[in-house]
A and B are shown apart, each in its own frame.
Chain A
Amino acid sequence: DSGVTQTPKHLITATGQRVTLRCSPRSGDLSVYWYQQSLDQGLQFLIQYYNGEERAKGNILERFSAQQFPDLHSELNLSSLELGDSALYFCASSVDAPTDTQYFGPGTRLTVL
């Protein structure tokens, strides 16, 4: 158990809908990272938050957004969902920088029908 929690474990929804994925980092970790894992793209970095502030952006679509709250948990919002958004979404946390060890949560499997 990495200490990172993610909810829900599975999510099935329809195209055009909006969903929210939630992540709680390990105790003491200030940085939260979101990754998307699909069969043909591997693990793709989406976005990083550090202590409530956005720190880095990767290949995150404009339809996706995230935030980190004062209690350090983070939410990833996915809107206007398309079939291609079906993937595993992982949250990871670290103490500070990406060169600190990143611990991954169990992931949320999103299926868009």
Chain B
Amino acid sequence: GENVEQHPSTLSVQEGDSAVIKCTYSDSASNYFPWYKQELGKGPQLIIDIRSNVGEKKDQRIAVTLNKTAKHFSLHITETQPEDSAVYFCAASNGRGAQKLVFGQGTRLTINP
């Protein structure tokens, strides 16, 4: 089955700097890669997603890149702000078979003012 590895587990950056979180997946049939942000005491919230027919997607300060050959995808946050502090999860799915999202272990991002 699918396995998703996420790095780093913790990340601390200065406000205004960029943050990058990386994930690798094992199932070459995976074709959907969402990123979720989870704040303390809340459920995961989708912030951006990418499908395997594109290599990059951007939404204001957030971008995701996908390399299908290498089976990895990354989240990039630019001009970080204190409210970006949260736990971020990547996930992968192929929409077939077990039809489930497989999540990475999460990255705790801390933005230092």
A positions within 8 Å CB-CB of B: 2, 4, 33, 42-45, 48, 55-58, 90, 97-99, 101-107
Contacts and interface: CB of A to CB of B under 8 A. Distances in A.
B95 A90 contact: no
Contacts of B7: none
A99 B105 contact: no
Interface in B55-113: 89, 91, 93-95, 98-106
Contacts, number: 61
A90 B93 contact: no
A19 B32 CA distance: 34
Contacts of A99: 31-32, 51, 93-95
Interface string B10-47: 00000000000000000000011010100000111110
Contacts of B104: 42
Interface residues of B, number: 25
B34 A102 contact: yes
21 contacts: A2-B45, A42-B103, A42-B104, A42-B106, A43-B91, A43-B103, A43-B106, A45-B100, A56-B98, A58-B100, A90-B43, A98-B93, A98-B99, A101-B34, A101-B46, A101-B49, A102-B101, A104-B36, A105-B43, A106-B42, A107-B43
Contacts of B89: 42-43
Contacts of B101: 33, 45, 98, 102
A33 B91 CA distance: 14
B49 to A, nearest CB: 7
